[in-house]
Amino acid sequence: MPDQLFEAMRQSVIDGAPDTATELAQQALASGVDPLEAVNQGFAAGITFAGEQFGCGQIYLPDLLASAEAMKAAMSILEPEMLKQGSQREALGKVVLGTAKGDIHDIGKNLVATILAASGFQIFDLGTSVTPEQFVAKAKEVDADIVGVSALLTTTMAGQKAVIEALDRNGLRPRVKAIIGGAAVTSKWAAEIGADGYSRNAIDALELAKNLMGKGTALA
């Protein structure tokens, strides 16, 4: 049954069908499916496929936009469920999050925000196309422990470097840790720009953030 449900979720995103995606997300919650599994095995698989189709010219931007809308519709049902757990957890630290300047992709960044919040981190989400100055100002204002910058485009990865440089210029590091992620980002790039950490997905981002706060499960 979950396999069929996951396949239907994937297809609803490929079809760009927000109403179907909403219904399937509700059905998943009603039948006790872990919302994170619904995202990873169902909806995110659909958006990844749509991205591949777009990348090789099989579909056009309006189709990709429709897929993103369907993905967002599902997330709006699943995210509150994931967040419910966060308020009962020990406070782990403050994280300022955003997508790099010039980049409007936010589905993955929002998933990272939800998973960190659900685990007890306090999240200050600056949204998309965030300048280095905005990251620095928010980090100072809330006395952040971690600043996280997402980038999905090869052209906006330079924005991650600019944020790290701005944190350094303002004397915020090494106390404030800088982490990066996003489809185009690699550990090599993270090392090159002196980031304190990189993760491939939202689950790893949680482990990384916990480790940076000295509350992880990984061995030092």
Q: Which residues of the chain form contacts with ligand B1M (CB under 6 A)?
A: 44, 47-48, 50-51, 54-55, 61, 64-65, 68, 102-109, 111-112, 148-150, 152-154, 179-184, 199, 201-202, 205
Task: Give dist(CA 182, CA 93) in Å, integer.
Answer: 22
Q: Which is nearer to ligand B1M, 88 or 128 (CB)?
A: 128
Reading the block at residue 97, the tokens are 């999050």
Q: Which is nearer to ligand B1M, 2 or 51 (CB)?
A: 51
Q: Can you tell me whether residue 185 is helix, strand or coil?
A: coil
> How would you classify residue 143: left for phi > 0, otherwise alpha for psi between -120 and 50, otherwise beta?
left
Task: Give dist(CA 131, CA 135) in Å, integer.
Answer: 7
Q: Which is nearer to ligand B1M, 25 or 50 (CB)?
A: 50
Least distance from ligand B1M to the Cβ atom of residue 168, Å: 17
In contact, 119 and 84? CB cutoff 8 Å: no
Task: Give dist(CA 182, CA 17) in Å, integer.
Answer: 25
Least distance from ligand B1M to the Cβ atom of residue 158, Å: 12
Least distance from ligand B1M to the Cβ atom of residue 190, Å: 10
Least distance from ligand B1M to the Cβ atom of residue 139, Å: 13
